[in-house]
Amino acid sequence: MKQITVYTKNNCIQCKMTKRFLTEHNVDFTEKNTSENPDLIPYLKDQGFQAVPVVESKVLDTFGGFRPDQLKRLVEQLATA
């Protein structure tokens, strides 16, 4: 079961960088694209996010934007989980 969900949209460089980081660190994730599935937008807004990427996991608090510091913490947490 995938523990990571990355909310993205089309033509988003920060989304691409986030997905690349996770892929390079062999982190399995599910991508949910808000451009192709706009009904996800109210959910993200309810969580307090106004932009993507948003990274949601069971091992770390949800965060938005391309955040290498948070992504590194996520990889570390997954390694010990």
pTM over 0.75: yes
Report the alpha-carbon distance of residue 6 to residue 30 in Å, rounded.
6
Q: What is the pLDDT averaged over residues 49-76?
A: 96
Rg (CA), the chain: 12
pLDDT value, residue 2: 64
Per-residue pLDDT tens digits for 2-56: 689 999 999 999 999 999 999 999 999 999 999 999 999 999 999 999 999 999 9
Distances in Å between the Cα of 11 and the Cα atoms of 17, 21, 64 are 11, 17, 16
Distances in Å between the Cα of 44 and the Cα atoms of 18, 24, 54, 64 are 17, 26, 8, 10
Residue 1 pLDDT > 50, yes or no?
Answer: no
